[in-house]
């Protein structure tokens, strides 16, 4: 059973570093791995508010190239990390462009590789807590969901472009929503009727399809919002691109550390880091957050960290991706009284 995110509408508590808007997860565990490796040139591929980067930069002799596709996050991180001077290099870009982005910096430093890559996949609180981004059904906002608002299709554009079957497949594949056909039909009906421009209206359409009841404390719209967000941002393709590029970018002996937040992502990370021609997994099971961390940062509840060390040999293999087929469901009716289907949905959270 796939684990699902739960959204938290309340702002995160202030971090020990100050009032940064995003509390980095598994910080001690990440930093322990990089500290053991020592100083070097590291890439934080998901810079966000810069929490992990800040801690990496505290390791003596470290330079961090911080990448994010979200210009707002970059602005916040630049301000936070300004004190590190040219040891911090911010880059606006995506995982799928990482080799191109790093090429110029590596050339300027006379290096062929970096000493490690960190990625803390998913959404930051900066994105989740901004109603204008349309990421959360708990706040009224436009159906956007893009991490990079400067480019690409919004969630509404995507819904308008896809037909019922295509939309159902997205909702099934990325949300593992068993009632995907019914949900898709209700969403398309709302869109055609001109009643689908906000997060609230999207949630209403989903509730029409599956009913209002929560399963395991999870809102009925959670799966659909997750699916659309993953599709809008091409999240699994992006992660696959990062995992493909990592063996070429990380120096022999260097580190790859990935924090993921749901099983679709963790499956990809696990497959890639189990390629023994390339990586030595430093932990057999993913590292998860302590009860103490979860009590102060519920976001950490679903986090899984996998750390691997690059072997000296230069052999790479591709990691495949598996996907499910759509479940059969049909008409958009009023399902507000539907009985729950008894799915054991784990309560988890957005990154």
Ligand X SMILES: C[S@@+](CC[C@H](N)C(=O)[O-])C[C@H]1O[C@@H](n2cnc3c(N)ncnc32)[C@H](O)[C@@H]1O
Which phi and psi angles does 110 have, rounded to 5°? 70, 35
Residue from 49, 65, 257, 278 that binds ligand X (CB under 6 A)? 49
Position among 73, 159, 243, 300 found at the interface with ligand X (CB under 6 A)? 73
Binding mask 223-252 for ligand X (x = CB under 6 A): ---------------x--------------
Strand partners, 171: none
Question: Nearer Cβ to ligand X, position 52 or 182?
Answer: 52
For residue 297, state whether it binds ligand X (rule: CB under 6 A). Answer: no
Distance CA 225, CA 331 (A): 20
DSSP 165: H
Binding to ligand X by residue 22, rule CB under 6 A? yes
Q: Which two tokens stand for residue 271?
A: 């497959």
Q: Which stretch binds ligand X (CB under 6 A): 47-55, 152-160, 180-188, 337-345?
A: 47-55
**Cα 117 to Cα 9, 24, 224, 350, distances in angstroms:** 30, 16, 31, 22
State the DSSP H helix or E strand holding residue 236, giving kind and residue range, or none if neither.
helix 235-249
Closest CA to 25 of 258, 307, 236: 258
The whole-angstrom separation of Cα 148 and Cα 8 is 21
Between 22 and 181, CB nearer to ligand X: 22
If the CB atoms of residues 121 and 210 are measured against ligand X, the closer one turns out to be: 121
Query: For residues 109-138, which are near ligand X according to CB under 6 A?
Result: 120, 122-124
The rounded distance, in Å, linking the Cα atoms of 103 and 340 is 52
# binding residues, ligand X (CB under 6 A): 22
Contact positions vs ligand X (CB under 6 A): 22, 24, 46, 48-52, 67-70, 73, 94-95, 120, 122-124, 147, 238, 351
Binding-site annotation, residues: 50-52, 68, 95, 120, 127
């Amino acid at each position: 059973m796939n684990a699902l995110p739960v959204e938290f509408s309340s702002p995160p508590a202030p971090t020990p570093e100050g009032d940064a808007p995003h509390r980095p997860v598994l910080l001690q565990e990440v930093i322990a791995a990089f500290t053991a490796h020592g100083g070097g040139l590291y890439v934080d591929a998901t810079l966000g508010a810069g929490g992990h980067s800040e801690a990496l930069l505290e390791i003596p002799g470290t330079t961090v190239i911080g990448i994010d596709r979200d210009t707002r996050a970059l602005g916040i991180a630049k301000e936070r990390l300004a004190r590190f001077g040219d040891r911090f290099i911010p880059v606006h870009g995506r995982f799928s462009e990482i080799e191109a982005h790093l090429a110029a910096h590596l050339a300027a430093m006379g290096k062929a590789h970096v000493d490690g890559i960190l990625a803390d996949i998913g959404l930051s609180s900066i994105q989740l807590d901004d109603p204008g981004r349309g990421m959360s059904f708990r706040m009224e906002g436009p159906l956007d969901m893009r991490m990079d608002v400067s480019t690409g299709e919004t969630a509404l554009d995507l819904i308008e472009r896809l037909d019922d079957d295509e939309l159902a497949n997205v909702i099934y594949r990325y949300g593992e929503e068993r009632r995907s056909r019914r949900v898709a039909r209700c969403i398309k009906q709302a869109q055609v009727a001109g009643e689908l421009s906000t997060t609230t209206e999207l949630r209403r359409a989903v509730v029409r399809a599956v009913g209002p009841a929560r399963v395991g404390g999870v809102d009925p719209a959670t799966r659909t919002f997750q699916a659309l967000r993953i599709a809008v941002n091409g999240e699994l393709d992006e992660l696959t691109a990062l995992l493909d590029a990592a063996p070429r970018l990380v120096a022999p002996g260097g580190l790859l550390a990935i924090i993921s937040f749901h099983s679709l992502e963790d499956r990809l990370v696990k497959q890639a880091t189990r390629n023994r021609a390339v990586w030595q997994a430093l932990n057999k099971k993913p590292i998860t957050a302590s009860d103490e961390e979860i009590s102060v940062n519920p976001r950490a509840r679903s986090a899984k960290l996998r750390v691997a060390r690059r072997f000296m040999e230069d052999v790479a293999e591709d990691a495949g991706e598996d996907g499910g087929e759509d479940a059969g469901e049909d008409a958009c009716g009023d399902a507000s009284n539907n009985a729950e289907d008894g799915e054991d949905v784990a309560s988890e959270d957005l990154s």
